Structure 1
Amino acid sequence: MNSIETHAMNDSSIAEYLLQHPEFFERHAEMLSSVQLSSGHGQRAVSLQERQAEMLRDKIKGLEQRIMEMVRNSSENSAIAHKIHRWNCGLSAVQDVRQLPRAIATGIQTEFDVPQVGIRVWDVAGPYMGSLFTMGVSEDAKAFATSLTMPFCGPNLGFEPTAWLPNPEEVQSMALLTLRDGQNDSQSAAFGLLVLGSPDPLRFDATMGTEFLSRIAEQASAALGRLRVLPSGN
């Protein structure tokens, strides 16, 4: 057996003994102050008690930072949820169904400070065919929208939907939100696509969370579902 294995066995045996006999430090209390360890904050030597206190302070500091981060995230999430609620209330107040796509786009721009918003809807009822929000959508774009199982966030890769934005050449990052029937079930076919664009390349990053974007897609889908049925009286 080499010295490394012997050392490891001794360390293990000592640790096991101390765990099984905590009264050891009661019988030898002087060791707590006489044992010198390297400080975690510099090269100076400190007693076992001081080192333990340092470790506890570091642990408490780490927990405090985590709590502050949780509070900050909670505050941010609450603010976003309030904006979504306010935006949704605005959509509920729209009487003319033809104005819904514009209301959705302008609401997102205002509430969420998104520079550019584009929207297209297909498979609409007869009276709404030929509206601007139904034009310029290829079959490939429709198939692409259906293939998305969650909001796409990332750089502007030149997808066809980018052309639906007012100034597509300025877009550096974007989000694509599929509009579907029901609860935006990823298994159902898409009937529209919501496009968010920004000149900031990090605004819609591939690593960002998409929970709130999914909520926006669901609420937009529910509102725009009115375009897929004939207006009363027809």
Structure 2
Amino acid sequence: MTQNETNSIEQQEREALVAEWLKATPGFFDRHAELLSEIQLKNPHGDRAISLQERQLGVLRQQNQALNQRLSEMLRFGSQNDKTQGLMIAWLKSLLLAKSESDVRSTIADGLASVFGIELVKLVDGLDLPSYCGSADKAGSAFEPHLNDEIKSLAVINLSNVNAQILLASHHPEKFTADMGSVYLDQIGELASAAITRSKE
């Protein structure tokens, strides 16, 4: 180990001790308030040196902006979830009211297009497409006959009880992603299967 490396390690250890002592002595800057303006720090946004107070205010502003952004995102997602829930309830109501099998199939396709806000929904029989959720580019050749060049993401819901599948496809790559999970899609599949089975009775 070189002398510079040894000095660097010792410096880090001393700084760690100072940091621990300051955290364990919360009244230090109350008793030595003048240090807040005397200690000069490098300005992360320029060459001018700034006081510890200014640096702290800058950090607080950044944290406040980050919290505001997260709050805005949460509100936006909450609004989207409320809208999706309302559309989902309307779709379920339509499924319950549909009598014939053709009406049920039409309701499944039209309703899911509205729920997901997507450009293509197909309810197809007898296909052996694997379950999938993600990018259209990575879906494989088995899907190509059912898609066009504008489709960027898709999901496949298997309705094994009625030997059918629902193909959901979107022009937007972020609509269906590999990390979405399948629980929500599986529940939709169970509801659609039950509606089709009921219409056959």
Q: Which runs of 5+ in 2 are unaligned?
A: none
Distance in 1 of aligned mates of 2:72 and 2:99 = 44
Unaligned runs of at least 5 residues, structure 1: 121-133, 182-189
Determine which structure has greater relative contact order: mean sequence separation of CA pairs < 8 Å that are 6+ residues apart, divided by chain length. Answer: 1
Confirm or deny: 8 A CA contact 1:118 1:194 kept in the other structure. Answer: yes
2:180 to 205, 209, 225: 209
What CA distance in whole angstroms lies between the structure 2 residues aligned with 1:203 and 1:11?
Answer: 45
Q: In the alignment, which residue of structure 2 is the partner of 1:224?
A: 196
- Name the structure 1 match of 2:32: 28
In the alignment, what sits opposite 2:156? 176
Asked whether 1:191 is paired with 2:163, we answer yes
- The alignment's TM-score, normalised by the length of structure 1, stands at 0.69
Structure number having the greater helix percentage:
2
Q: CA deviation at 1:6?
A: 2.3
CA deviation profile, 1:94-113 (whole Å, cap 9, x unmatched): 12234311221233334544
**Counterpart code for 2:142:** F
Distance 1:176 1:6, change over 3 A: same
Alignment of structure 1 residues 6-85 onto 2, 5 Å: 6-85=10-89
TM-superposed deviation, 1:54: 1.3
Distance in 1 (CA, whole Å) between partners of 2:150 and 2:16 is 60
Cα distance change of structure 1 residues 174 and 24 upon mapping to structure 2, 3 Å threshold: closer
TM-score (norm 2): 0.79
CA–CA distance in 1 between the matches of 2:158 and 2:83? 24
- Cα shift at 1:36: 0.7
Selected match of 2:141 from 158, 175, 182: 158
RMSD: 2.8
| Alpha-carbon distance between aligned partners in 2 of 1:21 and 1:104, rounded to the nearest angstrom | 64
Letter in 2 for 1:63: L
